[in-house]
Amino acid sequence: MFYQQIKNVGFAILLSSLSTQAAYAQLNVFACEPEWAALTRMLGGDAVKVYSATTAQQDPHHIQARPSLIAKARRADLLVCTGAELEVGWLPLLLRKSGNGNIQPNNAGHFMAADYVSLLEKPAVLDRSLGDIHAAGNPHVHLDPYRILKIAKALTLKLKKIDAINSALYQKKQLDFTREWNQAMTRWEQRAEPLRDKRIVVSHNSWIYLEQWLGLKKVAALESKPGIPASSKHLSKVLSQLKQSPADMILTASYQSGKSARWLAQKTQLPIVSLPFSPADKKNLIQWFDQLINQLLKVNS
């Protein structure tokens, strides 16, 4: 009898241990960009363990499929990326070398954010002589909070599908996120009203979704063609254009070279606004959008 009691206690401890392990088992998520890492953390909470392949100081177009990234992708349960050819230069190689069937295209663990929203700037003609254009349209959808809301809903459904045991948690997290996000959008739009119709020069044509949302007006780009570095001839042309039609600021991403922007600023006395194109490692998406609005308002106050 005594030995049977010990056996029962031992079995109960084992069950409790297994149950605890199951409760704390985390979904391994490989995010291509910091914005999707941040969104997944907000929607997944303690149920997910998220790794971002890039940082806010890197151009997501140009990443190397390093062995360390391949190792992370090999262990991932879910891949969350932008899509729309943003990662075309490195993601296909990474997926192939990972050997992870779960995260391959058309499989359960494959999620491309751009698949769930409409894209702007779809090219009428696909001609590489026109520069670095994306066939599906401009992929930088994370700069529009309304599109992020749609992507969050789709990502929640994906999380619930591949991790059904935590379905209730994901549902609650999405409801909390939606409430907090809607409140934040109202605040951002009220604060950003002074930015409407401000005229901007951009380094690269990557701000179209932010422009549309805030009512900014792009009057020139420092690149003669998308992805083609600014030439002295083109910069002189932009300078002449701005003499006829002045701008209010020069908008760049913090990871980009500021050489051309500084040259134009010296010639025109325009302020340069260098924005983080993605959230920093410890920032969530609401903090990041707060930072974008604050920096834009600071130079236009």
Q: pLDDT band at residue 126, thresholds of 50, 70 and 90?
A: low
Residue with tokens 């009898």: 1
Q: Which CATH class is domain 26-188?
A: alpha beta
In 3-state terms, what secondary structure has residue 261?
A: helix
Amino acid present at 26? Q
**Tokens found for residue 74:** 């090999």
The answer on pLDDT for 12 being more than 90 is no
Q: pLDDT band at residue 125, thresholds of 50, 70 and 90?
A: low
Do residues 90 and 64 make contact, with C-beta atoms less than 8 angstroms apart? yes
Do residues 41 and 65 make contact, with C-beta atoms less than 8 angstroms apart? no
pLDDT tens digits for 261-288?
Answer: 999 999 999 999 999 999 998 889 999 9
Domain with CATH 3.40.50.1980 in the chain: 26-188, 192-298
Query: Alpha-carbon distance 63 to 27, whole Å?
Result: 25
The answer on pLDDT for 9 being more than 70 is no
Residue with tokens 């997501």: 60
Q: pLDDT band at residue 127, thresholds of 50, 70 and 90?
A: low
| DSSP per-residue letters across 118-141 | --S---SS--GGG-S--TT----G
R_g (Cα) of the chain, nearest Å? 23
The answer on pLDDT for 2 being more than 80 is no
- Of residues 12 and 250, the one with the higher pLDDT is 250
CATH number given to 192-298? 3.40.50.1980
- Among residues 298, 276, 275, 290, the alpha carbon closest in space to that of 33 is found at 276
- Of residues 35 and 228, the one with the higher pLDDT is 35
- Among residues 263, 267, 285, 264, the alpha carbon closest in space to that of 276 is found at 285
Neighbours of 266 (CB within 10 A): 9
